[in-house]
């Protein structure tokens, strides 16, 4: 803001002092934490409806921060246990990844898929059909939560396809409670619903998960 001159200040001396409005501070994100059983109870219940679903309704693998790396490559970089080797245009050449669905170690990124924890079709069924295209894009490229997108073997991801836990669970028994927590946490993060069959199955599956916890922050548009 330019400084007023002395003359201008004198001329305005009789007017009330006006100050620029201070922007309201951004609301801090609240991190929710609860047991897995309580998280299942918190899922909104609704019937699923896949009418009108197209994968292209969710624009994915964008380069949101314009650093040359797509969402897929950002996940590969973040999840590699060793520094990745990159080629031109952020092509990931090598690294070391742990596919927790099947407990496999992978060093060639061509053997990996980036899995949407709650598949795009399932998200559509569960409420995303009512979202704006911008929110669907944000969902499909969600780098704001560690478990929304995970690098796993292509074989395990394609076995899962668009199925929910009532139809598919990771082949590794050690992964299942973590997977359930990731699934439920992602649905709660994005305020997605679950149908009766899904909720019934989740209640049955979480019995063996003890005090496994679910932690998430609500997604921001």
> Does some domain include residue 207?
yes
> Does some domain include residue 10?
no
> Does some domain include residue 161?
yes
Q: Are strands 92-94 and 85-86 parallel, antiparallel or unpaired?
A: antiparallel
> Does some domain include residue 99?
yes
Domain span at 47: 30-217
Number of domains, the chain: 1
pTM of the model: 0.86
Task: Quickly list DSSP for 15-45.
Answer: SPP--PPPPPPPPPPPEEEEEHHHHHHHSPB
pLDDT, tens only, 64-108: 999 999 999 999 999 999 999 999 999 999 999 999 999 999 999
Cβ density class 174-212: b for 16+ within 10 Å, e for less: ebbbbbbbbbbbbbbbbebbbbeebbebbeebbeebeeb
> Does some domain include residue 170?
yes
Query: Which value, to the nearest 10 degrees, does the dihedral of the CA atoms of residues 136, 28, 148, 107 take?
Result: 130
> Does some domain include residue 86?
yes
pLDDT, tens only, 153-176: 999 999 999 999 999 999 999 999
> Does some domain include residue 25?
no
> Does some domain include residue 11?
no
């Amino acid at each position: 803001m330019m400084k007023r001159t002395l003359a201008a200040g004198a001329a305005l001396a009789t007017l009330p002092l006006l100050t620029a409005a201070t922007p309201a501070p951004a609301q801090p994100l609240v991190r929710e934490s609860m047991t897995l059983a309580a998280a299942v109870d918190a899922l909104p219940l609704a019937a699923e409806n896949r009418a009108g679903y197209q994968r292209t309704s969710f624009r994915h693998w964008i380069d949101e921060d314009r650093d040359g790396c797509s969402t897929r490559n950002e996940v590969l970089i973040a999840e590699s246990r060793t520094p990745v080797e990159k080629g031109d245009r952020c092509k990931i050449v090598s690294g070391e990844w742990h596919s927790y669905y099947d407990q496999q170690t992978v060093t060639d990124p061509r053997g990996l898929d980036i899995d949407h924890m709650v598949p795009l079709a399932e998200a559509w069924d569960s409420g995303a059909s009512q979202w704006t295209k911008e929110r669907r894009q944000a969902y499909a490229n969600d780098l704001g939560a560690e478990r929304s997108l995970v690098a796993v073997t292509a074989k395990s991801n394609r076995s899962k396809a668009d199925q929910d836990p009532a139809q598919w669970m990771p082949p590794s028994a050690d992964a299942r409670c973590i997977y359930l927590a990731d699934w439920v946490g992602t649905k709660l993060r994005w305020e997605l619903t679950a149908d009766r069959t899904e909720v019934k199955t989740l209640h049955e599956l979480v019995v063996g998960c003890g005090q496994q916890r679910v932690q998430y922050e609500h997604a921001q548009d």
